[in-house]
Structure 1
Amino acid sequence: MGNDQSSEINDLKSNARQMRSDAREREEALEVWTREQTEAREERERKASEEREREAMEQQLKDDRHKRELEKLANQLKQMDIDRKNKEDIQARAEEIKLRKEKEEEIRIIEERMRKEKEEKIRIREEKERQEKLRAEIEKKRMQNIAELRAEIEKIKPGGSFEFPDDDIKFPKRLNIGLYGATGIGKTSLMNSLKFAVKGELKETHREQAAPDDFEGGHTTRRMAVRVTRYLTFVDNRGIGAEDIVKEGAADELIIQLEGKRSFASEVEWGKSSRPDDLEVDETKKIYCTVLVFSARSVTAVHTIIGKFVERLLKWQGRFPLAVITHVDDATPEQLDNMRLALRMAGIVDVYEVANITNEKKDLEPVYQENLLKLLHKCVKDGDRIFELRHEIELEEEKRVTRKNKLAN
């Protein structure tokens, strides 16, 4: 029993020791497990901490990167704003410079225009002065020429245009110059202008004769001789109407007058049929220069006169007649051009343009005086050559008649 109890006690002690050993092992195991758990927890906590630190670092890096990006973006925006402001400043300066340049260019253009205007005014003034000086010189020369022409025309007489006149030809004492033209073209006023050109003044006016109420023609009804110098006589005629020129006897009447078969005081009927052989020749009434008178305001009169007269005149006198265009101071440039063209087409090249003295106009410009004096000189020259031609024709006719009479006898 005692042994049993001792055994039991030993067993109990052994069990107790075992239990203590087991408890120590369990404690150790628990301690190990606890330590391991602790270490594991600490490891997890460490890893978690590291993870958190890593995440925190990554987040910080992200935050830093984001911050840098934000700062960079902010800087970029700031720079863009600066650039925009700089660009605006540059544009503003450029616009300012542009406006300044435009203003400067505008000022330059204005100054240039003002300079050119000033130069143009100076040029115009100088040109005007030059023109006035030139006109004064031309006017002076023209007046000198007029004085010389007047002095010459006062002395010149038939045959005086030849340098070496034929002694066998006896020229007439006076040259008769016939004026022919349509109704109302200013022949009578032209006579006054001619007298003014020769004398430099008009003391005696050649007046138109009044026409009967039932007479359809020019104001001058009779032929009228007007002496403008000692040796030159103009023969004014009744105007030729459109109804006259179409008559058969109009051109015959012209030749009758040229041949000296019509008195200066006789009435003229252009369409009346006359027999030249029945009329006596008066040598003092012969006309050796013909002047056709036209108004610049009526080009139709050119065709009226030229159609019948020019061909007959050319055949009789061997040269084209002279022409005077009156009313040039009242005509338009187009009217003058049309008149000149019509005369050239008719073969008339010696044309003198004049304005006439009228009741309202008592003076005659120097240029027209000069033209009329030149006309007179041309009349003398043409008259001498026509007289010479007609003289030769008459001599040939006399020889022909003499030979015919000899043959008849």
Structure 2
Amino acid sequence: MYSTRMSNLPPYLFARIDEMKTEQAKKGVDIIDLGVGDPDLPTPPHIVAALCAAAQDPDNHHYPSYAGMPAYREAVASWYHKRFGVTLDASKETLALMGSKDGITHIGEAFVNPGDYVLAPSPGYPGYSTGTLFAEGKVHEMPLLRQNNFLPVLDNIPKNVARSAKLMFINYPNNPTSAVAPLSFYREVVDFATDNGIVVVSDNPYSEVAFDGYRAPSFLEAKGAMEVGVEMHSLSKTYNMTGWRIGMAVGNAEILAGLGRVKTNVDSGVFNAVQHAAIAALSGPQDCVREACTIYQERRDVLVSGLRELGFDVPAPKATFYVWMPVKDCMSFAATLLNTSGIVVTPGIGFGSSGEGYVRFAITRPVERIKEAIERMRRLDL
């Protein structure tokens, strides 16, 4: 019944985790979910108020612009200039997305022909691979290893693969490893992409979830980046708006035009009221972002300290709300935690072959629940 393309798709990791959680919950188990990275903090009130006001306006009840409201795209350009010092032409170098996943999974259809290579990090967000499979391309995994600070070694990519690759996905601050990248790495990526004629897609939704004074750069800050790539960003993590489905792609105008052409054929744009709320988020006070980071940092410290007391070698991340922990067997470890203690963590293998030997904790639950998870783990022989 299904297409060959469907048979090539792996089961979506987080959907399977949801099934496993449901099975345990039916047994009456008190689940502590440290698996999927969905913020538990509410969307800030001023953003909600902007949505409510805009939803009352009948002018917003019609089909929205495919590319996004001019006012939203101007707000995106202004935010990028203020935050990263990157100057964008809002009319050509910004594009509204229904969350960054929208752009990540559709951009391959604009640039990848059947059999073309796409360079994707491993471990990495599953959308890089699934979007490639929908475009009938071939994924070449770029291993992210601890000894390389979880940065891909571009010189290790075979020359024949590099020459036939159409896209390269990069993602820092990184999901799932929580690694960060210096601007010097982005300069290497620009040179590599220029030499091989590759379109770079920087996935940067975690730039604002940072700790200890760290400020993540944008790929577009690197000299020449605007000539070879685009960056996907999202309001989901920064403003606790995962369910709102609003984000942006910014960068090279020609690349964005290709993505935009795909999107005009597969969706009808983002609800205008949501775009008005996003304008309020990007243009309004940013205290809410700093407050959220303070909460996440406390949770990070409690989790990392507890895991270290249990004997695990866990670095404290500078950004994201993930903790990437080495274990002997990720599937066995995750299953043990869920089946014996009701704790959900994500096995690293679900993010690619180089994710084996790790599990990912999401610090998207209150400190008290994280402490409870540590106490439950303390009672196990791990």
TM tier, shorter chain?
Answer: under 0.3
Structure ID, larger Rg: 1
TM-score by length of 2: 0.25
The structure with the largest strand share of the pair is 2
The structure with the largest helix share of the pair is 1
